């Protein structure tokens, strides 16, 4: 053996011990919890040890240092892999006690890695495919930061460990395609190519030539023996050099090292059992008790942290010497600047005076023109509906392969990929992403929207064509149940502004959120300016407010959102003029904001009179605001294809209908009448059948 071979052999021996430390921590933690997934951490321990030992740049003493490499465990079920490593390299919140409390209430070691729950977890994973798609957003943000500042301030890799599941999921495909197109050369995916998933061999469900697929999408793709450290290291070196994103297919055996179960799908998601673990201790010559790692192996791991700290300190020196330091820190700190609020107030005042009648999607674009002019933090995009979502402004030049100076992403027809990429951009830091599609297709983005909310990311979804008001495209495109689904999602603001003033207000609120994503549900059709009061106050910030008060005591209160507020106002005017009934109109652009107002404000807004809720969507959730004696005017089934005006009439979302309901609720002689047009009189099927016949 020559000297370099000797060094290599020593490194390999030490890396094998380092990898075995992961294996036993994973086996023992899962055994103690009697829950979890040992097979994946054991199978990928060798490859990931090489990645951390020789390449990765992270500093456990400052886990959110902006120029760190990002490590994404897309195969989140293998969470013990990342917890073991975090323990071994010395993250302050990951002492051995946390590993032995794996998956227990209050521990840092949640079942799947959760962003914000333990230090250094870059993104929440577990829903397969989300990690790889989120990582695409991180890699986009890295390139965008590097284009704005020099590579001396921003120069890091995004590493992903993905399993067969991540590559089978549809979202994975969207992400791979987008990353290849954009030539995200600093995105490196290590695929745990173990040919096993829960049901057994992947032969059961796929014949895909993954390397060919990745290459076809514009990636560099290599296959290595995932248990050969030198082969893995060489592949990572090549991945660093290539101008494309890289796939490294690591051929592995699930549960590698296990005495008798290595290679079996039975190691995927269950404790191996005391007997198997004892036999594995023998086989791997690991005489140590559970939850103990010999000091020499621990110190080998801790060299990773030392290397990371040195890199971070060198970066800090460069930042201190940089003329861009202030701008860099403002960007990373996502400081919007002081200009925005007065500019938006001016915008609202001008449009109040002008009584601008525009679709709220257009109002959104007009507001964005102000926002994007005042801050460089916003990054727009759309899933191929730019001209419909109106997400582009004069400031937003598109980014493209090799050109990351712009601030607009043509995400392609990839709603789920877009939403996950926006999560990644937000997680990376330095930007506030917003992206558009039709509200009905929020279903396609749902998995990632849920993670925006769970992670508490300031991502903004611009979801236009928000009701039957979109008209002729028909029920496939007309959302009915979507608002209820989004409102049911914890920590998600769902805004449905009624006019240009509310739209600008809702944008302002959304941008001010640090830990809550926002949905802006916007109309295709033009809506009149409804605000009647002067003043700068952002009334939407309270979630609901009295837009039109009754003269004297209220007989009835009309609650409405978005495009139906106009109809409620018209009904209130006519109730007064034709029936001498006094109706207040409450605009409710954001339930979530209203929910957290004090009770006295809520009471004052909702009033004591009977309430009628009006929304061109399903009823679910509205009963809470209507109270037991209220009525609902909205949709009871799917929509239909026709001009919007015809649909509103057909489905009874009209002032006439509101007036009839008001009479029923207010006048004794009408009290026994049946509710009109909704629920009891028109079932979903009837509505749809009727619509296709009559309209
Ligand atoms: C979206 C989603 N669907 C299903 C699951 C449940 N699930 C967890 S792991 C897994 C199998 C994954 O196979 P693979 O990625 O090959 O992991 P391995 O068994 O090799 O560890 C499944 C179906 C999930 N976590 N996410
Ligand atoms: Mg697998």
- For the CA of 78, the closest atom of ligand 1 is 21
- For residue 87, CA distances in Å to 35, 71, 82, 117, 212 come to 20, 15, 8, 15, 37
Q: Which ligand is nearest to the CA of 39?
A: 1
CB atoms within 10 A of CB 346: 12
What does each C-alpha distance from 212 to 50, 201, 207, 218, 247 come to in angstroms? 25, 20, 12, 10, 11
For strand 432-438 and strand 460-464, is the pairing parallel, antiparallel, or unpaired? parallel
User: Contact at 8 Å (CB) between 194 and 252?
Assistant: yes
Structure tokens at 347: 């915008």
Identify the CA nearest to 136 among candidates 406, 420, 405.
Answer: 420
Ligand 1 pocket test: pick from 198, 199, 263, 270 the residue with the most ligand atoms within 8 Å of its Cβ: 198
Give the pLDDT score at 689.
35
Q: Distance, CA 71 to ligand 2 centroid (Å)?
A: 19
Q: Could you report the per-residue pLDDT of 55-66, keeping only the tens digit for each?
A: 999 999 999 999
Is the per-residue pLDDT at 260 higher than 80? yes
* 545-548/583-587 β-pairing: antiparallel
Contact 530, 557 (CB under 8 A): no
Of the candidates 644, 649, 676, the residue with the CA atom closest to the CA atom of residue 662: 676
- What does the longest C-alpha to C-alpha distance in the chain come to? 103
From 114, 122, 276, 415, the catalytic residue: 415
| 415 noted as active-site residue | yes
Nearest CA to ligand 1 atom 21: 40
Which of 197, 201, 264 should be mutated for ligand 1, with most atoms under 8 A from CB? 197
Angle between helices 340-354 and 500-512 (to 10 degrees): 170
Closest ligand 1 atom number to CA of residue 167:
15
Chain centroid, CA 491 distance in Å: 11
Residues with CB under 6 A from ligand 1: 39-40, 75, 77, 126-128, 163-165, 169, 192, 194, 196-198, 254, 268
CA 356 to CA 348: how far, in whole Å?
Answer: 10
Distance CA 106, CA 560 (A): 41
How many whole angstroms from 15 Cα to the centroid of ligand 1?
27
Distance from first CA to last CA of the chain, Å, rounded?
85
The pLDDT of residue 691: 36
Averaged pLDDT for residues 20-28: 98
pLDDT digits (tens, 9 = 90+) for 271-305: 999 999 999 999 999 999 999 999 999 999 999 99
Q: What is the predicted pLDDT for the residue at 685?
A: 38
pLDDT in tens, 153-207: 999 999 999 999 999 999 999 999 999 999 999 999 999 999 999 999 999 999 9
Query: Residues 546-587: pLDDT tens digits?
Result: 999 999 999 999 999 999 999 999 999 999 999 999 999 999
Give me the chain's average pLDDT, please: 95
How remote is the CA of residue 607 from the centroid of ligand 1, in Å? Answer: 50
Percent of the chain scored above 70 by pLDDT?
Answer: 95
- Report residue 534's pLDDT band, with 50, 70 and 90 as the boundaries: confident
Q: Ligand 2: distance of its center to the CA of 192 in Å?
A: 6
pTM: 0.96
Quote the ligand 1 centre to 646 CA distance (angstroms).
47
Q: Looking at the predicted structure, is the pLDDT value of residue 681 above 60?
A: no
Higher-confidence residue of 682 and 483: namely: 483
Among 72, 75, 77, say which to mutate for ligand 1: greatest number of ligand atoms within 8 Å of CB.
77
Specify the ligand 1 atom closest to the Cα of 163: 15
| Residue 3: predicted pLDDT | 74
Q: Give the total residue count for the chain.
A: 695
User: 674 pLDDT band (50/70/90 cuts)?
Assistant: low
């Amino acid at each position: 053996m020559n000297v370099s071979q000797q060094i290599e052999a020593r490194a390999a021996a030490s890396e094998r011990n380092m990898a075995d430390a992961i294996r036993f921590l994973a086996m023992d933690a899962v055994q103690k919890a009697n829950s979890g997934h040992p097979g994946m951490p054991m199978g990928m321990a060798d490859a990931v040890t090489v990645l951390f030992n020789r390449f990765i740049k992270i500093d456990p003493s400052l886990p959110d240092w902006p120029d760190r490499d990002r490590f994404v465990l897309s195969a989140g079920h293998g969470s013990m892999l990342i917890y073991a490593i975090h323990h071994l390299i010395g993250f302050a919140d990951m002492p051995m006690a946390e590993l032995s409390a794996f998956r227990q209430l209050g521990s840092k070691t949640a079942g799947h890695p959760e962003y914000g729950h333990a230090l250094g977890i870059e993104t929440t994973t577990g829903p397969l495919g989300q990690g790889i798609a989120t990582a695409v957003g991180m890699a986009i943000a890295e390139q965008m930061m590097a284009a704005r500042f020099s590579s001396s301030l921003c120069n890091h890799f995004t590493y992903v460990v993905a399993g067969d599941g991540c590559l089978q999921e549809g979202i994975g495909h969207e992400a791979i395609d987008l990353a290849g197109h954009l030539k995200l050369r600093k995105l490196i995916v290590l695929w745990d190519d173990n040919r096993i998933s829960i049901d057994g061999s992947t032969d059961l469900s796929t014949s895909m030539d993954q390397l060919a697929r990745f290459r076809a999408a514009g990636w560099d793709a290599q296959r290595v023996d995932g248990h050969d450290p030198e082969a893995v290291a060489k592949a990572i070196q090549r991945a660093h050099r290539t101008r494309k994103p890289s796939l490294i297919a690591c051929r592995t055996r699930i549960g590698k090292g296990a005495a008798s179960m290595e290679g079996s799908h039975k190691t995927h998601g269950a404790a191996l059992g005391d007997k198997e673990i004892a036999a594995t201790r023998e086989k791997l010559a690991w005489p140590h008790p559970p939850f103990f790692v010999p000091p020499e192996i621990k110190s080998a791991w801790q060299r990773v942290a030392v290397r990371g700290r040195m890199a971070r300190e060198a970066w800090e020196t460069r930042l201190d010497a940089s003329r861009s330091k202030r701008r860099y820190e403002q960007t990373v700190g996502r400081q919007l600047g002081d200009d925005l609020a007065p500019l938006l107030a001016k915008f609202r005042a001008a449009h109040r005076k002008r009584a601008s009648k525009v679709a709220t999607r257009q109002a959104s674009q007009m507001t964005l023109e102000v926002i994007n002019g005042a801050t460089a933090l916003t990054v727009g995009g759309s899933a191929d509906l730019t001209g419909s979502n109106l997400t582009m402004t004069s400031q937003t030049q598109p980014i493209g392969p090799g050109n990351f100076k712009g601030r607009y992403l043509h995400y392609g027809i990839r709603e789920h990929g877009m939403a996950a990429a926006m999560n990644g951009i937000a997680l990376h830091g330095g930007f506030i992403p917003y992206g558009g599609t039709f509200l009905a297709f929020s279903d396609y983005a749902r998995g990632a929207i849920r993670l925006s909310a769970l992670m508490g990311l300031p991502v903004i979804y611009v979801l236009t064509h928000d009701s039957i008001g979109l008209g002729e495209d028909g029920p496939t495109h007309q959302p009915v149940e979507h608002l209820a689904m989004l409102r049911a999602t914890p920590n998600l603001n769902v805004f449905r502004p009624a006019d240009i003033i509310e739209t600008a207000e809702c944008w302002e609120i959304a941008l001010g959120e640090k830990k809550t994503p926002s949905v802006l549900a916007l109309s295709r059709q033009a809506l009149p300016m409804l605000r009647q009061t002067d003043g700068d106050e952002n009334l939407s910030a309270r979630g609901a407010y009295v837009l039109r008060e009754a003269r004297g005591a209220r007989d009835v209160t009309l609650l409405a959102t978005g495009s139906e507020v106009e109809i409620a106002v018209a009904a209130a005017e006519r109730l007064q003029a034709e029936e001498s009934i006094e109706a207040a109109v409450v605009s409710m652009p954001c339930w979530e904001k209203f929910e957290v107002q004090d009770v006295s404000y809520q009471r004052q807004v909702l009033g004591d009179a009977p309430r009628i809720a009006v929304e061109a969507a399903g009823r679910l959730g509205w009963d809470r605001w209507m109270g037991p004696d209220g009525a609902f005017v909205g949709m009871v089934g799917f929509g239909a294809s026709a001009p919007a005006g015809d649909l509103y009439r057909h489905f009874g979302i009209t002032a006439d209908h509101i007036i009839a309901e008001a009479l029923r609720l207010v006048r004794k002689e009408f009290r026994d009448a049946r509710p009109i047009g909704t629920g009891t009189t028109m079932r979903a099927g009837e509505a749809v059948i009727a619509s296709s016949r009559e309209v």
